[in-house]
Amino acid sequence: MPKIVVLSFIILFSLISFQLYTNAGGPTYGVAGEPPLNETCNVGGCHTGSPLNSGGGSTAILCLDSLGNIVTSYIPNHTYTIKLRVSEGTKTRYGFEAIVLRGIGTNSTAVGTMIITSPDSTQLFGPANRKNIMHKLGGIDFATNNGTWQFNWKAPTGNFGTATVYAAFNATNHSSSNSGDEIYTKTLSIAGTGTSGIPAESNATILSFFPNPVASSLQLNFLDNATIKVYNLHGDILKSLTVAPNPTIDVGDLNPGIYLLKIISSKETITFRFVKI
């Protein structure tokens, strides 16, 4: 075989190997399905062959508070765990890319701070003001047919409105080619709240409650008869009762976690957040 042909073959093989390695080591930046371009690895000759979200697999994104409860809103300056999962049939090699943004279209901007918690399997990539998180080479092969990753997200210091997690997943057929893989997209919206965690509906200067965190009973101090409602973070009403001024509310039967306390009087309606321990 002529030397030039051998050399060309070696160069071509090296380029193909490099391309396969870089895909395994992390996708191209900006393909989490986020605005304004909404691009994924399903286009551009990267992982083609099937329409987007057509593979029959499943995906999930969860936001968890420090107690492990699933939440749908954030408290400014608090840190949450974002968990991502993709599964398809018997496949055991997966990849992902994600970003947290506020706003839509060309007005979308990064919000909060993504923090790596699994440096062997995930990495941050991109400009400082708009980083994406994605898999690394150590985070693509799984013992089961579920690809899972997680990272911490620190909410912004103020209420910047709804934060949206955009994620794209790759369920690969492990063929080291750009066909036969399935690309999925998923989003999760996390609503912004006030600085206390819950937007107050009026001034709370005539009301207080303690202790917080609480083990058994909450002592409330206010001047009027009122209706008290206790909610979980899914919006379910767990307690509803009418009380006289300065009541004591038994919460000892609640599981440990974060709850919302809503006080409705003839003068005002106020909502607070409390932690049951």
3-state secondary structure 127-145: CCCCCEEEECHHHCECCCC
CA distance 214 to 229: 16
The secondary structure of 8-76 as a DSSP string is: HHHHHHHHHHHHHHHHHH---TT-BS-TTTT-BTTSTTSSBSS-TT-S--EEEEEEE-TTS-B-SEE-T
Calculate mean pLDDT across residues 87-97.
92
Looking at the structure, do residues 14 and 72 belong to the same domain, yes or no?
yes
Confidence of residue 274 (pLDDT cuts 50, 70, 90): confident
Same domain, 35 and 141: yes
pTM (whole model) above 0.85: no
Task: Round the average pLDDT of the chain to a whole number and report it.
Answer: 81
User: Does residue 130 share a domain with residue 232?
Assistant: no
| pLDDT at 7 > cutoff 80 | no
Q: Is residue 112 part of a domain?
A: yes
Per-residue pLDDT, averaged over 140-152, amounts to 93
> Which residues, including other chains, have CB under 8 Å from residue 70's CB and lie 6 or more apart?
62, 63, 64, 233, 234
**How many domains are there within the chain?**
2
200 within domain boundaries: no
Beta strand segments in 78-154, E: 79-87, 94-102, 109-110, 113-115, 122-125, 132-135, 146-154
User: Does residue 199 form part of some domain?
Assistant: no
Q: What is the mean pLDDT of residues 7-23?
A: 39
**C-alpha distances in Å from residue 54, one per residue of 80, 190, 277:** 31, 26, 44
Mean pLDDT score, 129-152? 93
Across 3-7, 99-103, 175-179, which has the greatest mean pLDDT? 99-103
| Out of 68-82, 153-167, 171-185, 230-244, least confident range | 171-185
Whole-number pLDDT of residue 201: 38
Confidence (pLDDT) at 24: 64
The CATH code of the domain that includes 239 is 2.60.40.3080
Residue 238 has pLDDT above 80, yes or no: yes
Q: Is the pLDDT reported for residue 120 higher than 80?
A: yes
- Same domain as 128, residue 8: yes
Q: Which domain holds residue 251?
A: 208-276
Structural domain includes residue 198 = no
